[in-house]
A and B are shown apart, each in its own frame.
Chain A
Amino acid sequence: NAGVTQTPKFQVLKTGQSMTLQCAQDMNHNSMYWYRQDPGMGLRLIYYSASEGTTDKGEVPNGYNVSRLNKREFSLRLESAAPSQTSVYFCASSGHGDTEAFFGQGTRLTVV
């Protein structure tokens, strides 16, 4: 099983450019998440989707949009990238509330 697959693994953007981070899971999970990881800040939740067709803001949603295209896929879009969005982004998925979340390998994004 592939688990959670994120693309791309690395990306450099110029300020103001847009891009979409893709995430797909093959575990039939209902819940999917996007986090950003910054030194000393842990993982901060950007957006959360409890099921297909639903999304909810997390702790740091400003500057981001998401789409839960179907049960498998959950994409994160930066409409106008800013240097403050330089970070490592992780997608995750989980089943019922007490089951573990599975993580992708991350996308290292640099905005210059």
Chain B
Amino acid sequence: QVQLVQSGAEVKKPGASVKVSCKASGYIFTGYYIYWVRQAPGQGLEWMGWINPNSGDTNYAQKFQGRVIMTRDMSINTAYMELTRLRSDDTAEYYCARGPSSLYGMDVWGQGTTVTVSS
């Protein structure tokens, strides 16, 4: 079945970096964009950006420009989201999700990865 499986929870200190993985299975990895969305505790959804697994092209929300890096490894059908210079307000659940194009929304989501930033 189609699924996205994310890496496990992380605890990081302020200023550190975190890299979350998102392994795709059950579909053609290069046929769908991978989006990253985060959700702070008790808050709404925040779109971070996308990567096109086929080309490697990325598009980041201005808020994260310079701090986020989205990559992929086509040999293992895995996308990555690295967030650097972590702050306490980066504490959130991070989701990857796939979508065929911008018109169709994000139809399959990973289970989420909890990232806690604390000194």
Query: A and B bound?
Result: no
Tell me the B residues contacting A by CB distance below 8 Å: none
